[in-house]
A and B are shown apart, each in its own frame.
Chain A
């Protein structure tokens, strides 16, 4: 029988890795992820989880160990955060190129300096283009379940995947959690079947030199399988509902049917945006929420269909790409490009470095959205001493003609 327990997001992630029967776990502790590693270490030491726990001297090595384990045919798991994920960056590429379905949990934390342990999506979004699938959890339950959902898809497309959860808001908050029955998870997630075994009797070289005549095709296959993962996430999310009792989807709508104004959000702050949408509906404002769960693969076609024809769309980003925009806003704009009924996309940057994103914050965003005529790339919400608005620049960028170069 599934158990209902009161657990933190970190412990939920450890339970997710255990229920998925991870066989090799290698991780380096970092606040606010440490509790995941501690619990997995205890679970393997006590024998409750039959896995090899490899302690390492850095996150780079943690991912290297997962790469080796996965290449040898083991289901591999790690967890990290912030600077740790950044240090892992090179090996994240390796896991993709070697087509290894490793799963990691990233407890999203602001990047240093200034030194911060608080919630911010900048760490995980800095890994946008490495070729990992990415899911964003909103609850402690999802911090557990998304690991299992991710393995189910990763092992079909031979691509790795990461699950993002917010520092402290989920990682250190205890909430009711359904810990699934192991037999049911086993039914949902069969053992990992690698394409090739590392077998000393049949020596092969892996990760060797690929010349100009093959590399492009290898990358094309990665792109192709990431596209396939879009449908597989939908299928596996439905199957999750059949077997484990809760259906998951790459996108989630709330009061979207007749919504004229749509707020787009991801991660734990979405709970507060949803409450704001309830309030707005009571006031008669046709507001709706679109929650992005899958960031890679990005559900472009569904987003085009869902957002087409709306009056205005506000994207809330707990991250920013300096010199451009919030990153979710940029992805949504890009998805809608060229669509005749595309709504204007207003980018709002909120909650950087763990600043509280409240129900009131979503209300402030909606008030601004209703009033503002022209969309902006990045509207900053809650910078001390400033009203909501674009960058307050005291300089002007002059219109510039393209430079004609005669060679």
Chain B
């Protein structure tokens, strides 16, 4: 307190004034008042700030998840006359990955490169097609290969690839677009599909590491398969192309092929016909190409296959019918190891014929369009139609998605190009994709699978949270199975029976275990306990069986069989201390007996025996996790339920005892019932801890996302999954956001469990107060 200066003395000598005068006191009071309110507001601001910061966690997690919930959108960005003029029809259009330069192939043999933004022409090249032939059909290899094949009415076909040749210079991106002819220059550019000059009705191409294959259907219903094997000379590097042509058996029932597709392995040929069916040919040996089966793919019997396209990876095919149906088909091996055509899922139908299908370059999405100007965007894994757009009443002739699927071209029959911007960052996510069985590509049935990444680009991400959730519950379940009985029994004993002196030691020791880093428990579980259990399996089960028995027998021996003089020397309340040697002996005995038990009952190797009986055994399994994580949870449950039992009002128990109840009866009928809410909240909070524990499960399991409750197999939990995958997830990607979702789910679950536990506990406290 600052001492204010003494007031100026007046003309008369006065006794020295100790107290400050009025003005100074007022100043001081004001200053103190100011400090008081300053403290009040600053503490308030800080306090609220801290609480808000904690709330921020939830808000932030949610904000990272939110973009996944926003629906996709398509808007027409601009629209212009087709570059190169309306006089010729568009065969195919494409654009580069930065959506700056596009290419348009026309029926009058032009390849026009243009600016995507306004359609102004940049460069044009004439395709080396015979002047008298017209383009009747075209086919696309996988979009990212930029490979296009044109089928002509004279039985010839041209394979061409455009290249935007993007490069960086100080002035920005530069493009030198060119055309390439993968089969060679000059005469070699054109291939003869039908030597007799029959017109080509449908054509397909694939180019793999070994060469190129072309499949074509001719106007008269014949089908041909051409193989071009490329061999490069080791010495000169010169490439020689060897061509072979094969005839494919005609379609059954006189059907006429409409669309034809070849997969990247060049073993499977799919043909859509005019009767609404899809035919599968096995062409792994082209000379013996054989028809395998046909399936109806349209809903209406009189409809025909209008369009057909492979998705990324050429595993599943999307078929569009003239009745507007859109469906996905896959080849799935049956029990006899024969590929069968299987309908995987259907998408929203169009009101008119599906004129074409545009697959995405890098994901399993695609767009479909009809003759009424409607475009729909679908995603195959989630079976969702994400968004649709009406471009006007005119039929659309071509649609092409940009490489990064953030824009698309749509060309109508009047050769007007619509540039559509697409916002569709997270099509892989839907409630169904996360929580139900999904039929993934390459699988024989719908399954729950978590597999977020792979080495290949064609990979279909599998984001089922079911195995992870199940794994979390599995780990928590076994942990609780181990921890709950031990912790609650222990709590009852130490709160009610144990002598106070012993309790003073025991309670803090168990509680301090809560602070032991879980990384240590996990490391012991993974490196010491898991191998130990593996080699001493019988010991684990014999302890489970022997221990309770031994405890009771020891009690009986002590109280009834030993002379009273001895047993009276140690008062009641020290039973736990007496049992220490028993517990250690039983454990030691079980471990020592383990190899012998194995020899006697399990042919010397219990692990092998389990495998023979049909249980998979992993070294790092649920049993190990259960014990290790149970160990981590015991202190939590013990501490809270011990408090609950200990605080049961004494007059209740004394009343019960006075009425003649035995101590154990008092415990079960009075104490436990009164304390049950507290024990319940202890279990809740313990469960919450088990659900969120990361390091133990990370280290003590194999972290494989399995879908069972086998105690001898591991699991992958939500939390361990986050720890493993989060550092590798691309920021802002779907995988990243799903991991945030997993974190949010964990947050909410544990928060709710804790809240329930806490509220129950507070109620109980109030009830104790009133009793």
Same assembly = no
A interface, CB within 8 angstroms of B: none
Contact residues of B with A, CB < 8 Å? none
